[in-house]
Structure 1
Amino acid sequence: MPRQVIFDTETTGFSHKDGDRLIEIGAVEMIDGNLTGENYHTLVNPERDVPIEAFRVHQISTEMLKDQPLFPQVAEAFLAFIEGAELIAHNAPFDVGFINFELTRAGFPELSNKITDTVPIARRKFPGAPASLDALCARFGISKAEREEKGHGALLDSELLAKVYIELTGGRQAGLFVSGRSSNRNNAEEQVPVRYQRPRPLASRLTDEEKAAHQAFVEELGEPIWAKLN
């Protein structure tokens, strides 16, 4: 499975064609269907005021953005984070449209990544049902407590969407299990757990004293059987 980046944006309004601008980008990384803990987040100075209607949604004010970097100052870092990744967004044409507008305005080429929109996926899987991020979180039992307390945020919404995407694509089940052959007489398939390797190994919890005690114990055994196998 390719490297994937689930991302979201916040803006001053609904249309960059009407003068609205990007004010926040949030993105999380997924590899082989597993969140890696790596993320990208930035606020962006839109060089204009944030309308009260937009503030009520994401609670990001004009005052909060006045000392933030302009988009050209963050573009390279964002592009480096998403390089080579499949991009996943909810209502992707909106987010991609704003990103491409800002990239073009700053003298960068538009996105060339593969884009996946989770809205059509949700509508195919649950015909006639609401396909908003809120509705999907409710359907899958994903907590929105932080979102309800703090409002929409690009990084928080990316994290929620990542959980939704895993559910929509069967990623939780697919990531935890693969099919294997059971040994029963019907030769039916059973679920065999898949054990993924951590991106970074955990630090050893053994103390120097415990290592020394173990070595002393081994030396008392004389020539243990496993030594004969080397």
Structure 2
Amino acid sequence: MRQIVLDTETTGLEVSQGHRIIEIGCIELIGRRPSGRTFHHYCNPGRAIDAGAVAVHGITAEFLADKPTFAELVEEWLAFVEGAELLIHNAAFDVAFLDAELALAGARYGRVADHAEVVDTLALARARYPGQKNSLDALCKRLGVDNSHREFHGALLDAQLLAEVYLAMTAGQAALALALDETPAAAATVLAAAAPLKRPRVLRADAAECAAHEARLDALDKAAKGGSVWRRLAGG
């Protein structure tokens, strides 16, 4: 399976207010492994960038002044994502901006859904971890993905983190899918490796802990009529 992990940065939060994409980052996975192919570009939006957005991603209008427009990159981007499964965190946001950029580039480019299937990794995370925080940062912490180098949001950096998060979050599902495609004997091996049985570890009290326990029971015997419940039940 060919998958593309995708993220964008924008001039602001509302596409309906004419905000534009200023950075797009994509990482290709083949059979759930990074292929080494990426697509990463900054785009000149031809408009101002909200101060709040700059505070998040650190990208300024001055930096983008000599960058190509999205329309100049659209053919290259479509060739990269064509026929793939797009993995996007909070996909509705990015897809709305991408659809708007495609429309501005020309009606012949259609919509994202005309070129690739979209999977929302935020929806996957909410189903797997209901009632918990499922931002990219929260998932990195929960799944042990190192994001200590993430000072600002960045499309390619966030795509790299999302790829690691997605692979960690769906590792068991991948093992199950592999098992279903194998012979019964091989399937049993894969499933056993994916979900090993763990024997409970029994910890026994040492002499000091036993002595402390008995001292506590002695104190309870003195305080309660008929002695402590523990010793009565134990027949002590």
Structure 2: runs of 5+ lacking an equivalent: 194-236
**Conserved in 2, the CA contact under 8 Å of 1:33 and 1:171?**
no
TM-score by length of 1: 0.75
Tell me the percent identity: 44
TM-score by length of 2: 0.73
2:33 corresponds in structure 1 to 34
- C-alpha distance 173-86 of structure 1, shift in aligned 2 (>3 A): closer
One-letter code aligned to 1:4: Q
Deviation, 1:189, is: 3.2
Structure 1: runs of 5+ lacking an equivalent: 183-187, 194-230
Q: Deviations over 1:33-82 (max 9, x none)?
A: 11111100000001012122111100101110011001110101100100
Greater mean alpha carbon deviation, residues 106-115 or residues 95-104: 106-115
1:225 corresponds in structure 2 to none
Give the alignment of 1:71-220 within 5 angstroms: 71-107=70-106, 108-111=109-112, 112=114, 113-148=116-151, 151-170=152-171, 174=175, 181=185, 189-191=188-190
Instruction: Name the CA distance, whole Å, in 2 between partners of 1:114 and 1:190.
Output: 32
Greater mean alpha carbon deviation, residues 105-114 or residues 19-28: 105-114
One-letter code aligned to 2:158: D
Deviation, 1:174, is: 2.7
**Conserved in 2, the CA contact under 8 Å of 1:28 and 1:159?**
yes
One-letter code aligned to 1:127: P
| RMSD value, Cα | 2.2
Instruction: Name the CA distance, whole Å, in 2 between partners of 1:69 and 1:174.
Output: 42
- C-alpha distance 39-171 of structure 1, shift in aligned 2 (>3 A): farther
Q: Which has the higher helix share?
A: 2
Larger-gyration structure (1/2): 2
1:62 corresponds in structure 2 to 61
**Conserved in 2, the CA contact under 8 Å of 1:166 and 1:172?**
no
SS at match of 2:189: strand
**Conserved in 1, the CA contact under 8 Å of 2:7 and 2:156?**
yes
Instruction: Name the CA distance, whole Å, in 1 between partners of 2:117 and 2:188.
Output: 34
